[in-house]
Amino acid sequence: MDQVKVKKILLQSLENSFGNISEACKKAKISRRSFYNYLRDDEDFKEAVEEIEESLIDLAESELYNQISKENTTALIFFLKTKGKKRGYVERTEVINKPEDVDLSGLSTEELIELIKEKEDE
């Protein structure tokens, strides 16, 4: 089977399997490696895959709104934590460090620099 047909089957299978790459590859009878090669080498294929992914997100959002309208508390909380962050609906962990909690006076300049780098990486 030529690549054009394989890619067409693959894209249809990807859509039907809700983005499950392994399942789509099995239906198209190709390896995951081939899928990722197509994704890397074929811009049209890549755009089609991205469109499928966006459609699936739209579908999930629609279901989320549906669940909110049914007064599903979990769905409502999830929505507010993700879409309502700018209004303060976010969980935060506050860490308060008091200068007297840590004595850094015995550390060398190199050790202090290393400590700062470690904290920046966290």
Residue 30 belongs to some domain of the structure? yes
Per-residue pLDDT reduced to its tens digit, 41-85: 999 999 999 999 999 999 999 999 999 999 999 999 999 999 998
Residue 118 belongs to some domain of the structure? no
Per-residue pLDDT reduced to its tens digit, 76-102: 999 999 999 888 888 876 677 666 667
Per-residue model confidence (pLDDT) at position 104: 78
Per-residue model confidence (pLDDT) at position 101: 65
Q: Domain total for the chain? A: 1
What global pTM score does this model have? 0.66
Q: Which residues contact 9 (CB under 8 A, 6 or more apart)?
A: 27, 28
Residue 31 belongs to some domain of the structure? yes
**Domain of residue 72, residue span:** 3-87
| Alpha-helical runs (H) found in 42-108 | 43-69, 73-83
Residue 111 belongs to some domain of the structure? no
Q: Which residues contact 84 (CB under 8 A, 6 or more apart)?
A: 90
